[in-house]
Amino acid sequence: MSDSPYQPMHGTTILTLRKGGKVVVAGDGQVSLGQTVIKSTARKVRYLAGEKIIAGFAGSTADAFTLFERLEAKLDKHPGQLMRACVELAKDWRTDRYLRRLEAMMIVADKDVSLILSGLGDVLEPEDGIAAIGSGGNYALAAARALADRDDMDAEAAARRAMQIAGDICVYTNHHVTLLSLDTQ
């Protein structure tokens, strides 16, 4: 096993895509324990802040729930300021002895911005509005970038097709996709 802090999380694919006045976040439903599929219909994507923000996670489930709770607390403290709330969470995540041990990554999006959060203190905004995390993340990212310019696909269709491609390639990603969206206009 690599000591790289950027090694992909095993067990999921989370994708965000902005196109045509919408932002979508999609996640597959597979939960694996080693080489065994434990559940195929997990929901790794959810609305936060009264359905104004979408968040998805890759990594340990218990750790992800902890991060969702912490992010919600930061959003309560900084309403309508997703970037600030994420930066505050990232600071805590990097410096807090307990949080530092969490093994998860998150994608969060609101009508204005999409962000990747990591335990290294990263709060990254993709230039093209497309980002993906998890073991199938690179497959979904490549597919989404290829599909984003197609006029015959809206954001949801492009994200679903990208997730299908990732599920065809990554053994830790299945075809049971949860997709949530927000209008960006």
**Beta pairing class for 36-39 and 31-33:** antiparallel
Q: How many other C-beta atoms lie within 10 A of the C-beta of residue 21?
A: 12
Which of the residues 12, 13, 173, 178 is marked catalytic?
12
SS3 106: strand
Nearest to 87 by CA among 131, 109, 49, 118: 118
Instruction: Identify whether 41 is a catalytic site residue.
Output: no
Q: What is Dmax (Cα atoms) for the chain?
A: 48
Q: Which residues are catalytic?
A: 12
